Amino acid sequence: MKAHLLHPSEDVDWGTPVAPDGSLEADVLQDLHLGDLCAAMASGDPLIDDVARRILLGSAADRRVVQYRQAVLSDCIAHADLARELYAIATDAVASEKQVWSFLRTSPSGSLHRSVEVLEIFVTVLRRLRATVDAHADEVRSEGLVRLFDQVRDELDDTFFDAVHDHLDRLRFRDGVLLGAALGPGNRGWRYVLRTPDTRRRGWRARVGLGPRSSLGFEVPPRDEAGQQAVGALRDRGIALVADALSRSTQHILDFFTMLRAELAFYVGCVQLREVLVERGQPICMPELAPSRTVQCSARGLYDVCLAVRTSAQVVGNTVHGDGASLIMVTGANSGGKSTFLRSLGVAQLMAECGMFVGAEAFTSSAARRVFTHFIREEDEELASGRLEEELARMSRIADAVQPGSLVLVNEAFMSTNEAEGSEIGRQVVRAFVEAGVRVVFVTHLYDLASGLAGDPHVHALFLRADPDHPGRRAFELAPGAPLSTSFGPQLFDRLGAWGAAPAHVPASGAPEGGL
Amino acid sequence: MEESSFETILFPSHGAGGAGDGDGVGHDRDPAQPGYFRDLHLDRIAATATASRPDGQLGVHFSRRLHDADHITYRQEVFADLDRPAVRRAVQRFCDAMGEVRADRDRARDRRFPQEQQRWLLDAAVRYCAAVRELSDGLGSAGATARGFRALARFLERLLASAAYLELEADAARVAAALAAVRYRVHLRGLHVTVSSDDDGVDYSAAVLATFERFAQAPTDARAEERDASTQMDHVEARIVELVARLPGQASDALQALREFCVDHRDFVDPTVERFDREVQFYLAYLELVAPLRAIGLPFCTPEVGAGISDVHACEAFDLALATKLVPEGTEVVRNGFSLAGAERIIVVSGPNQGGKTTFARMVGQLHHLAAIGCPVPGTQARLRIVDQLFTHFQHEDALAHDRGTLEDDVVRMQEILAAATSQSLVITNEPFAATTLEDARFLGRTTIERMTEIGLWCVYVTFVDELSSLNHATVSMVSTVVPENPTARTFQVVRRPADGRAFAVAIAEKYGLTYPQLRRRLSA
């Protein structure tokens, strides 16, 4: 019996650490500000935050799985209360198990006692789960939820609840402990099995088989303390067998609820994120994930969800017609929304790949399986040569990991050397990536790099330009346009009053851009 | 002509012995180890190899050099056979089983209740019989070719055909099978204990598990009960077994047969088998020591050895003690070689400090010692002399404690060595006469090497006095080297010529594999 709401047949890997420090995923998490997205989904629930990170950054789902999740998500959005109630049931089960005192857990009878108590709690929660499923069975449409509901109704039937009741009764051992054994190493008893303690009213002799079977016995004298301990130890051996079985059983039930809780956490997180975005008047849509062998990337009203949940202002969306373009090159003015655009694209891609809705009016993109980010690091105020090496080392790690179809988002790379050299390195990297089937979105101030690629017949590129002073266009809105030879840096420099004054206006992302 | 008897896996029959006399210098802390052991870090190698083997006799075989080429070859053959997985597996399994036999016999002696003691003795006999038979079969089917293993195989064949062995094997198997079939029930109710025979019934724990298996999120693995042999039977258990022995039928018969077995078979281990188990540990210990090194590609080879050869060399060798430390840390082990031909006798090693000079000198000494105890040596290929004596002359921290000055002590130790050494001796000396002026060091070094040349001995001479390297026809110059572009970086290569400064002109992107052609290759892989 498995929840399997995130994948039709496989378990999600809950064990491997997500985005450990120094990993490429950690860079993505940091560069795309995914923490804000997860926080909005979690709305204070640390488990949801954790699960959201895992699903966003964990191993990629294929398109079939994405559709499977989209269906479950649609059910959860349509019946938000049901999703929350199921999540509450699983959460209660896990929480109440933790409250049962694990004192004396090491002694078999202590362990048995605890397991019985936990089992009694679980029986109550399982009955509640069964009742909820019965009440809402007609509402769910998705393959994932329909199957879960069917399983609950099949497995948690009256026969099951009767059997549990029977076990709870037998486990009191009113007639002593009856063991079967063989002679093991050193002629000591081993391969103990617990024989059925029959609680039906039968003669004691018949129950322990003293009829036709011959038997021999002795009694440990009350003054023989060591002997009493030895009998106690043997008795514990018998109880340990069933205590172990029972504790594994309660662990199974706990595992089931833990899994159910984690899988539902993702959907409850999606429901909560949707509520935040709807409240702010931001559009959302179910994306279309095209096969990874195609090169598609088109969007209408694409905005950065992370920025939208962080700010109270309306966030500007962009329109992109990038189908067929393996490379999207973004140039133009500082504070023109270039980084925000880059993030919006990365966040939407990740959300789409894990079965979520995205922040756009429409969004179609080829499945990338993996997204990589290479953003300029503001904290690196070292010598230029050290910075360049650090940048190259990061790019090299990305090169180790990319596959055809991967999406690589580059923000102001190779600026820590002179323009000619930085451009040359950038050109070689971009060309090699694109020719290997990797999709690259590159934000740069390196005119030499951008114009060089514009003239490269081997690279199918879309050029976008930030042009904040363009009449008839909203601030931070990008438009197709070839790179311009002059940077907007000097203007900005003048506008901000050289090194003196604080910036009068920054994009809502709040992240300063490189190039100054 | 095959030898007719088998005594030991360490020496050809009637060939035990082979101590190296008069080795080393004055620091004989451990009489079991030659004086040079510590300087060459051979003490570390021996300690690591024998660490997990409590047999105190093992160390002797690591320290005692053989002087007869035939004895060395006898061991080299055994090592070569043990490199074949089938032979190695057969021997390893045998030794593991014999360890269990020893432990079982200890329990048969030490445990409190007769029922327990008897069963451990039976266990020991069952394991022993299986171990001997498996070893015999294993050596046969693996086709061991070493003289030592062939003699052992013939010995085992005779042993397995003996009446005493066959009776032991049959009795042990019969009694063990009878005991394994015994089943009984224990009913505990308060302090009443009742024992009866057991027929198959319901396993209640399994019934509980079955009820809840539907919630399992991952398949549960079957849990095998492995009885902890370290704890002992208590008197209630002993009483229960006594009662089981009185249950009519199978149970009483089986336990009666066990008592009789123990009367008939007390000491069943053959002394030659026992000795083989003990002595083959020498080989296994060394192979285990070098296994992690070989696993990462460090080469070992069987050296060609001889007393009279004059052209000696080793290729891609390394300091074994250092390698056993570096490999677990993931640090690269630098390999070095040397070659002496014709009249060449003395390798003078100079060059920058911390460049691997001492390690190189130590390596040469180690190679000669390891070859002389019959072991495979580091390197892809080696040809080495059997030396009559091996001396080291290293700077010791505790040399300062002598009342003679350090320099005087140096000179005295060198005098002792030069007085004892012959043309068959090897001397490894590390920065002698360093505690003096350059002028003195030149003079002492020159006269030392001249005397060495007269004696005709073999030497590795580490020094900061460059000119000693071209003193005469016997000397060969080798230098530690640095990375040409970065004089602070050592390569730990010691080469016969000075390094030729290769220009460092690799672009920074190239260093990270990010040029277009590099990336194309990486991404298409």
Q: Tell me if A170 and B204 make a contact (CB, 8 A cut-off).
A: yes
Residues of A within 8 A of B229 (CB-CB) are: 185-186
A429 to chain B, any CB pair closer than 8 A? The answer is yes
Angle, to 10 degrees, between the axis of helix B69-82 and the axis of helix B85-110?
Answer: 90
Residue B355, amino acid: G
Q: Do A396 and B202 touch (CB under 8 A)?
A: no
CA-based nearest distance A501→chain B, Å: 38
The winner for highest mean pLDDT among A322-326, A472-476, B32-36 is: A322-326
Min distance B217 CA to chain A CA atoms (Å): 6
Q: Count Cβ atoms below 10 Å from residue B253 Cβ, excluding itself.
A: 14
A186 Rama class: left (phi>0) / alpha (psi -120 to 50) / beta: left
| Model confidence pLDDT, tens digit, residues A390-400 | 888 899 999 99
Among B519, B520, B521, B522, the strongest candidate for a mutation testing the A interface, having the largest count of A CBs within 10 A, is B519
Instruction: Quickly state the pLDDT bin for A210 (edges 50, 70, 90).
Output: very low
Angle, in degrees to the nearest 10, between helices B516-524 and A419-435: 30
Q: Which residue of B201, B208, B512 is in closest CB contact with A393?
A: B512
Those residues whose C-beta lies under 8 Å from the C-beta of residue A255, and which sit 6 or more positions away, are B215, B216, B217, B218
* pLDDT score of B353: 58
The answer on pLDDT for A380 being more than 70 is no
Nearest-CA neighbor of A483 among A423, A440, A400, A437?
Answer: A423
List, in sequence order, every residue forming a beta bridge with B478; answer none if it has no partner.
B349
pLDDT at A490: 44
Are B213 and A175 in contact (CB < 8 Å)? no
Residue of B202, B157, B220 lying closest to B2 (CA atoms): B157
CA distance A297 to A313: 27
A414 touches chain B (CB under 8 A): no
Say what the pLDDT of residue A243 is.
Answer: 85
Confidence of residue A451 (pLDDT cuts 50, 70, 90): confident
The Cα B471–Cα B465 span in angstroms is 11
Q: Residue A384: what pLDDT?
A: 42
Query: For residue B26, what is the DSSP state?
Result: S
Pull the structure tokens for residue B466.
Answer: 């460059």
What is the DSSP secondary structure assignment for residue B114, as one 8-state letter? H
Provide the 3-class DSSP secondary structure of residue A215.
Answer: strand
SS3 call for A6: coil
Closest-CA distance, A95 to chain B, in angstroms, reads 18
Answer for the pair A242, B205: CB distance below 8 angstroms, yes or no. yes
Read off the DSSP letter of residue B467.
G
From the list A385, A174, A383, A63, the residue with the least C-alpha distance to B509 is A385
- Please give the pLDDT value at position B27: 38
pLDDT score, position B4: 56
What's the average pLDDT block by block, 10 residues per block, for chain B (525 residues)?
74 59 43 85 93 82 93 96 95 96 94 93 96 95 93 95 95 95 90 84 82 77 60 90 89 93 92 95 96 95 90 95 92 91 91 77 96 96 95 69 60 89 94 70 86 94 82 87 53 62 43 84 85
Contact call for residues A51 and A269 (beta carbons, < 8 A): yes
| CA dist A117 → A113, A172, A245 (Å) | 6, 12, 15
Q: How far is B100 from chain A (nearest CA, A)?
A: 13
At residue A288 the predicted structure's pLDDT band, cuts being 50, 70 and 90, is: very high
Residues facing A288 on adjacent strands: A364
- Convert the pLDDT of each residue in B489-500 to its tens digit: 557 778 775 423
Best mutation site among B188, B200, B247 for testing chain A: the one with the most A CBs within 10 Å?
A: B188
> Residue range A92-115: average pLDDT?
82
User: What average pLDDT does the segment A62-67 reach?
Assistant: 92
8 Å CB contact of A230 and B237? yes
Complex ipTM value: 0.73
Beta strands in A303-353 (DSSP E): 318-321, 327-332
Of A220, A222, A388, the CB nearest to B508: A388
**pLDDT above 60 for A371:** yes
Transcribe A67-86 into DSSP letters.
HHHHHHHHHHHHTHHHHHHH
Which of A227, A392, A400 is the closest to B509 by Cβ?
Answer: A392
Residue A256 to residue B236, Cβ atoms within 8 A = no
Are B102 and B307 in contact by the 8 Å Cβ rule? The answer is no
Rounded to whole angstroms, the Cα distance separating A361 from A363 reads 7
Residue B259 backbone phi and psi in degrees, to 5: -60, -45
Handedness of CA B362, B363, B368, B372 (dihedral sign): positive
Q: What is the pLDDT of residue A506?
A: 40
Q: What distance in Å separates the CA atoms of residue B104 and residue B109, rounded to the nearest whole number?
A: 9
| Cβ contact B214–A1 (<8 Å) | yes
**H or E stretch covering B195:** strand B192-197
Mean pLDDT of chain A: 85
Cα–Cα distance, B359 to B365 (Å, whole number): 10
Q: By 3-state DSSP, what share of chain A in percent is helix, strand and coil, each rounded to 5?
A: 50, 15, 35
Confidence class of residue A51 from pLDDT cuts 50, 70 and 90? very high
Contact A196 B524 (CB under 8 A): no
Q: Does residue A414 contact residue A382 with C-beta atoms inside 8 Å?
A: no
Q: Residue A250: list chain B partners with CB under 8 A.
A: 212
Structure tokens at B41: 């870090």
Compute the average pLDDT of residues A504-516. 39
CA distances from A416 to A22, A130, A423, A444, B18 (A): 21, 62, 11, 12, 69
- pLDDT value of position B146: 95
Q: What is the pLDDT of residue B66?
A: 94
Of the candidates A92, A129, A40, the one whose C-alpha atom is nearest the C-alpha of residue A356 is A40
DSSP letter at B218?
A: S
Name the helix (H) or strand (E) containing B481: strand B475-483
C-alpha distance from B168 to closest chain A C-alpha (Å): 19
A177 in contact with B, Cβ within 8 Å: yes
Q: In A292-315, which positions are buried (b, 16+ CB within 10 angstroms) versus exposed (e)?
A: beebbbbbbbbbbbbbbbbeeeeb
Amino acid at B61: H
Question: pLDDT over 90 for what percent of chain B?
Answer: 58
The model's pLDDT over B290-310, given as tens digits with 9 standing for 90+, comes to 999 999 999 999 999 998 888
A392 vs A389: CA distance, rounded Å: 5
| Proportion of chain A above pLDDT 70, given as a percent | 86
Q: Is B24 left (phi over 0), alpha (psi -120 to 50) or beta?
A: left
* Confidence (pTM): 0.58
